[in-house]
Structure 1
Amino acid sequence: MDHKYVVNPMPKQINDEVRELLSTVETATIGHFRFWGFCDREIRPMLRGKHVVGTAVTLGIPGPDSTLLHHAAGLLRPGDILLVDRLGDNTYACWGGGVTAAVKASGATAGIVDGPTTDLAELEESDFPIWSRGIASITTRMYDLGGRMNVPVSIGGVVVHPGDVILADESGVLVLPLAEAEQEARRALDLQAKLHVHEAALRRGEFKLGAHTGASDLVKQSLAP
């Protein structure tokens, strides 16, 4: 029998060690050495200054309908991040002030929507971290069209599995398989420490950026007669 709705069990949450390691890692630091797992840059933070780490809970709902989203809001746990695949729709806003209030009340960490949101003033007032493709006026309704929860979804061109590690900040959204998250976090923390030292030295005028990176040598070699 083909059910309109599929609601799979909630995924195992990420462990405290991984959460702590990533708590000070910037997505852009990992972007120095990793190419995959970064969502389309059009999925942007609706609030400034937010940095979140959490467990991926996934949802796929069709364009004008948000029935399953309202149900899912009641299943979320502290530490979860709800990622909503809009199945290619970029017209209907499924997430606004009411959904924000419900998701925030669950203790969940954040919401990420591959489509527009609405009620910007209410989102800002809630201080709840949201990433989306912007703001729209046309909203979803209770059309009961169906949906899927805790299945693989597509968010900004990235396949997200329930239980994946989500890191999101002002620079974007990164999806990491749990098996890779600790290694990538430690590598990023080491790189961040080195970058902070180098940037401090640059501000003091101790060396030129091109000399340090080798860029100046490459340019000079090309210009040499």
Structure 2
Amino acid sequence: MSAKDALLRSLLRVETATIGHMISHGFMAPQLQCVLPETRVCGPALTVSLPEDDGYSLPLALKEARRGDVLVIERLNDDRHACWGAVMTVAAQQAGIAAVILDGYITDISAIISAQFPVWCKGRSPLTTKRGKMGGAVNKKINCAGISVNPGDVILADENGVLALSRDEISMLLDKALQIQQQEPLIIEKLQQGISLAEIYGL
């Protein structure tokens, strides 16, 4: 197993909220929520930006995808059009995309849920992007839901939200995050035994 794979496997044991105890940056706006319950994914970011009703760059991004990539979509100046639906979901699964994060809207939510494909988004819209345009960009630095994302940054997303950090920074946080993650069940067990939180925290 490569060091890269080992990092991602270890991160799958960590909740975004656990890292939220440690730092305050890197977290996308909480309006982004997953369409599937009890889902956690992590992987390197494959970035794409889309202007207005232009979905041109999405198929180009999928051509560059590597298995396990998390597709992160910046919707630029649009807050109405759905850029993701049933067709893109099947195409993404065929390309090996692990999940999609977008600061915009989706359509065909029933098909996406049926495919069990993780998508974090702002909600749904029947108004969709159009073919025949030629805008956007792939694998450039983007801003998704208030957070700068570079190609290859590590994305960790779960039922609590989405985190994007450089590989170096997430590597430095990992051991402490795993330690916190292990302590939480012990704290809950003590609370259930009747020990107060003040006592547990030594206050």
Q: TM-score, normalised by structure 2?
A: 0.95
Q: Distance in 1 between matches of 2:80 and 2:24?
A: 29
Q: Does 1:124 align with 2:76?
A: no
Give the 5 Å matches for 1:78-97. 78-97=67-86
For 2:45, which of 51, 56, 60 is the aligned residue?
56
CA distance in 2: counterparts of 1:195 and 1:88, whole angstroms: 41
- Are the structure 2 counterparts of residues 182 and 195 from structure 1 closer, same or farther at C-alpha, using a change threshold of 3 Å? same
Name the SS for the 2:164 alignment partner. strand
Alpha-carbon distance in structure 2 between the residues aligned to 1:70 and 1:149: 10
- Structure 1 CA distance, aligned partners of 2:76 and 2:116? 27
Distance in 2, matches of 1:172 and 1:209, equals 26
> Residues 1-225 of structure 1: matches in 2 within 5 Å?
15-205=4-194, 207-213=195-201
The ranges of structure 1 where at least 4 consecutive aligned residues each deviate by more than 4 angstroms after the TM superposition are none
1:14 deviation in Å? 8.0
> Which letter maps to 1:133?
K
How far the C-alpha of 1:177 sits from its partner, in A, is 0.6
Contact (CA 8 Å) 1:21, 1:182: kept in 2 or not? no
Letter in 1 for 2:197: L
Name the CA shift for 1:177/1:103 in 2 (closer, same or farther; >3 Å): same
Q: In structure 2, give the amino acid aligned to 1:21.
A: S
Q: Distance in 2 between matches of 1:108 and 1:189?
A: 26
Q: Percent identity?
A: 36
2-structure distance, mates of 1:39, 1:160? 10
> 1:94 touches 1:116 (CA, 8 Å); kept in 2?
yes
8 A contact 1:152–1:159 mirrored in 2: yes
Larger Rg over CA atoms: 1
SS of equivalent residue, structure 1 residue 19: helix
Q: How far did residue 83 of structure 1 move? A: 0.4
Question: What is the number of equivalent residue pairs in this alignment?
Answer: 202
Q: What is the identity, as a one-letter code, of the residue corresponding to 2:151?
A: P
Task: State the TM-score, normalizing by the size of structure 1.
Answer: 0.86
The runs of 5 or more residues in structure 2 that have no matched partner are none
Compute the RMSD of aligned alpha carbons. Answer: 1.5
1:141-169 Cα deviation digits (max 9, x unpaired): 11323111111101110000000000000
Could you tell me whether the CA contact under 8 Å between 1:21 and 1:186 is conserved in 2?
Answer: no
Give the partner amino acid of 1:185.
L
In structure 1, stretches of 5+ residues that fail to align are: 1-12, 218-225
> In 1, distance between residues paired with 2:201 and 2:49?
44
Q: State the alpha-carbon separation in 2 of the partners of residues 14 and 132 from structure 1.
A: 30
